[in-house]
Structure 1
Amino acid sequence: MDDNFKKAGELKDLLNLREKENLCSLACFSHNAIRRRKEKFTENEYRQQFSSDADRILNSLAFTRYIDKTQVFSLINNDHLTHRVIHVQLVSRIARTIGRYLGLNEDLIEAASLGHDIGHTPFGHDGERFLSKLTHKHGAGFFHHNIQSIQFLDRIEKKGKGWNLSLQTLDAILCHDGETHSRQLVPQKNRSFKEFDQMVNTMKTKASFEAIPMTMEGCVVRMADTIAYIGRDLEDAIRLGLVKRNDMPKSCKQILGRTNGTIVYTLVTDLISNSLDQPFIGFSETISAALKQLKEFNYRHIYTNPVIKKHLSSIEDIFCFLFKTYLADLENGTKKSAIFTDFLHGMSPEYRQTHSNPEIVRDYISGMTDSCLIRQAPDHLKPDSIEHV
């Protein structure tokens, strides 16, 4: 055997030993990763399991499409607004910082952070709402972007073969719901793939749900999701003139700070200090209450602000038009349709056999970028970009 290959295997053993020596007892160790299909790792494989997961997600086609997916603000000509590709990197950075201080597995945290929003539709949560109406109407269940993240990574990528990611990574992605406010999260340990799949199927039948991650690392990612967007969305809204900094609730400014940087620092510091050597990930009562109040402020003044919603008046029409069109193309076997040439070409027979036509349309549309969705629309439905809100 080549000496370099032998050294690579020895390096991985060394990294596993380092985890045992340096991570806390509540961490998820790389050698405990569980996959659906066993993989024959050669002796020259130097990457640990969750590190491999992160690499696979980073090299997925779905990750590439992050670059043109809405975070909050759509159709506005401003190069400094946050897009989904920036958000997931912020989540990764924040979550890894927390995990490092708590002695948790940073590779698992990174993998889940990078993959947690891969299933988001074009045009953010508005697109998610539009598509969910359509999937539910056509018998494909409610649409949830975190379930769709699992769908892409597990059943669509690599032409239907999926990346065979670990259960722990998939679970953290599925349970990342940063919109739900939680002061503390206690991981629900020892979940199996069978239980995971049952949970996914149950979620599809519900318009809303809450699922707790099985690992401390998953709990960190969920909290970091909130920390990453709460102040950043506020800064974007201030930049657009939707709100003024002084509009923030007085107690939020006093407790959390007035800027995104201060808010992130305050939340991360509090989360670390309250979670150190504890079997949970959580904030103090004071910080948690202030964070909840800031969430409610953002919801009223930013996320449901009619000033930005009016620019999306034609987007739902495009979702409806494309869903109807692609569904008819599948039923009629219209091979020239983009759903055949762009999505199903080369897809594994197993994918076609295990998915209904509405599910296939769901998968195609949800994977589109904002600009792709608009390109597919007829001219009379295409919206104009906005210079100013």
Structure 2
Amino acid sequence: MLIDRERLLEEEAQRLAPYAQKARDTRGRQYPEPESPYRTPYQKDRDRILHTTAFRRLEYKTQVFPNWAGDYYRTRLTHTLEVVQVARSIARALGLNEDLTEAIALSHDLGHPPFGHTGEKVLNDLMQGHGGFEHNAHALRILTQLEVRYPGFTGLNLTYEVLEGIATHEAAYAPGFKPEYEGRGTLEAQVVDLSDAIAYAAHDLDDGLHSGLLRPEELSEVAPLRELAREEGLDLLRFDELSRRILVRQLLGFFITEAIGATHQEVEGAGVQSAEEVRRHPKRLAALTPGAEKTLQELKAFLKERFYRHPEVLRERRKAEMVLEGLFQAYTRYPETLPKEVQAKIPQVGLERAVCDYLAGMTDRYALEAYRKLFP
């Protein structure tokens, strides 16, 4: 039996919920091109994202710990894959388009510079007066301009809905996206946004405990974690590796289950019957239950105070600031030290943006090596 694109599209339309984004209803691509005979447009987008240079670089970009801190800790790549897993689980239960969800999740962090959110803040500060820097906006630039893989256009020529999913992702800084991406996005995009927050909090807790920077007994300060440990029969004073894995797994499962239930309730209450109605609804429909949202916010506050501000973590942040600031100042003062292909972009985008794009594309270790070459 041969299953071609038309059959995939037909089966998808019959299977998905009314409010899901169907691939047959895509707004299409900026540049017309033939679709794959055996893949839907969103499956094609997913495959294109996987083969980008930007995606491969995520393996050597910081989540919380830099890549060289140890083989166990999350990198930006493993975080991305975990977001994909959470988002697909939620999307499947809600009857959403899993292929679109996966494509958005795979690309949601492509625009992150080296050294995680510290790198993003440093570049945004350095680019004040030159358009700023925000990782979602930069991800769009990667996918529409900076990745050059096809002779007829720059970027990957992805479908509107995947790019929209990045544009509507929660931003740390005002990104200034184009007006055509205004709105709350598809429910698939909203689920990815929520899944990012869930995966970030649960897995940063895991890394913090594994590193020893967070002590198990400290978890008793967070009432929901204390209660979850009690329910699972875990003693926070005798907390071993298996205990940690059980706690994090159950916490993640709790968030996913609550997200499915709350989002379904929001969708039913809103009465939306199409992806367009989801976009135009007054509020986001992907949500957690009040109890789960309270747990997430308490966990985030705990991580911010006890983990992200730990002296060991802050020391790496200061190193990142020093490296990126030094590289930016050196390259903007002496642009002749930039690679020729970067110098060639200066007349089109300006010196500061060309340098910023170059720095944002670096991995942690490449940035450190570049710094050592300039400042031996």
CA distance in 1, matches of 2:10, 2:212: 52
| 2:4/2:38 contact within 8 Å kept | yes
SS in 2 for 1:377: helix
- Residue identity in the other structure for 2:178: D
Of 241, 244, 252, which aligns to 2:224? 252
Q: Secondary structure at the match of 2:190?
A: helix
Instruction: Give the alignment of 1:253-268 within 5 angstroms.
Output: 253-254=225-226, 259-268=247-256
Alignment partner, residue 325 of structure 1: 330
Counterpart position of 2:274: none
Paired AA for residue 9 in structure 2? N
Verify the 8 A CA contact 2:8 2:39 in the aligned structure 1.
Answer: no
| More divergent stretch after superposition (92-101 vs 373-382) | 373-382
The structure 2 residue matched to 1:231, chosen from 173, 194, 202, is 202
User: Residue 167 of structure 2 contacts residue 177 of structure 2 at CA under 8 Å; is this kept in 1?
Assistant: no
Contact 1:99 1:217 in 2 (8 A): yes
Aligned to 2:264: 276
Asked if 1:110 corresponds to 2:89, the answer is no
For 1:373, the aligned partner's letter is A
Q: 1:157 to 1:232 in 2, by over 3 A?
A: same
Distance in 1 of aligned mates of 2:226 and 2:172: 23
Superposition TM-score, scaled by structure 1 size: 0.80
Give the one of 136, 144, 152 matched to 1:154: 144
CA distance in 2, matches of 1:40, 1:319: 39
Secondary structure of the residue that 1:97 maps to in structure 2? helix
Q: Name the structure 2 match of 1:165.
A: 158
Cα 1:322/1:150, change in 2 over 3 Å: same
Please tell me the residue identity of whatever aligns with 1:101: A
**1:126 equivalent among 99, 104, 118:** 118
SS at match of 2:353: helix
Identity among equivalent pairs (%): 29
Q: How far, CA to CA, are the matches of 1:380 and 1:340 in structure 2? A: 17
TM alignment of 1:348-359, pairs within 5 A: 354-359=348-353
Q: Which amino acid aligns with 2:24?
A: H
Q: Which residue of the partner structure matches residue 273 of structure 2?
A: none
Report how many aligned residue pairs link the two structures: 337
Q: Which residue identity lines up with residue 20 of structure 1 in the other structure? A: A
1:252 and 1:178 map into 2 onto residues whose CA distance is: 27
What secondary structure does 2:69 align onto? coil
**Residue 79 (structure 2) pairs with residue 87 (structure 1):** yes
Measure the CA separation in 2 of the matches of 1:256 and 1:174.
Answer: 36
Task: Kindly provide the CA deviation profile for residues 210-252 of structure 1, in whole angstroms up to 9, marking residues without a partner as x.
Answer: x864100001000100111111111111111111122123422
The offset of 1:256, in angstroms, is: 5.5
Q: Which residue of 2 aligns with 1:186?
A: none
Match among 95, 104, 127 for residue 135 of structure 1: 127
Please report how far the alpha carbon of residue 329 of structure 1 lies from its aligned counterpart in structure 2 after TM superposition: 4.0
Aligned match of 2:189: 218
Give the match for residue 191 of structure 1: none
Query: CA-atom RMSD, angstroms?
Result: 2.6
Q: What is the match of residue 168 of structure 2? A: 175
> Aligned to 2:198, what secondary structure does the other structure show?
helix
Residues 60 and 67 in structure 2, CA contact (< 8 A), matched pair in contact too: no
The farther-off stretch of 117-126 and 156-165 is 156-165
Letter in 2 for 1:170: L
Give the distance between the partners of 2:199 and 2:331, measured in 1 at CA.
36
The answer for the alignment partner of 1:53 in structure 2 is 45
1:50-81 CA-partner distances (Å, limit 9, x unpaired): 11111111111100101100001127532111
Amino acid at match of 1:240: S
The one-letter code matched in structure 1 to 2:339 is I
> In structure 2, what is the Cα distance between the partners aligned to 1:66 and 1:111?
15
Please tell me whether the aligned partners of residues 96 and 106 of structure 1 are also in contact (alpha carbons under 8 angstroms). Answer: yes
Whether the 8 Å CA contact 1:231–1:263 is kept in 2: the answer is: yes
1:178 is displaced (CA, Å) by 8.3
How many angstroms does 1:295 deviate by? 0.8
Structure 2 Cα separation of the partners of residues 263 and 178 of structure 1: 25
CA distance in 2, matches of 1:152, 1:11: 30
Pick from 169, 174, 179 the counterpart of residue 198 of structure 1.
179
Unaligned runs of 5+ in 1: 1-6, 181-194, 201-210, 346-350, 383-389
Quote how far apart the aligned CAs of 1:40 are.
Answer: 2.8
Q: Distance between the aligned counterparts of 2:114 and 2:226, measured in 1?
A: 36
| Counterparts of 2:259 and 2:69, CA distance in 1 | 36
Give SS of 2:127's match.
Answer: helix
Cα distance in 2 for residues equivalent to 1:33 and 1:360:
33
Give 2:25's aligned residue: 32
Per-residue deviation at 1:312?
3.5
Contact 1:256 1:267 in 2 (8 A): no
Give, in whole Å, the separation in 1 of the partners of 2:371 and 2:209: 32
Give the TM-score normalised by the residue count of structure 2: 0.82
Amino acid of the residue matched to residue 224 of structure 2? Answer: C
2:136–2:171 contact (8 Å) kept in structure 1: no
What residue ranges of structure 2 are gaps of 5+ in the alignment?
Answer: 230-243, 268-284
User: Of 292, 303, 307, which residue of structure 2 is paired with 1:298?
Assistant: 303
Q: How many Å separate the matches in 2 of 1:237 and 1:307? A: 11
Q: Cα offset for 1:377?
A: 0.8
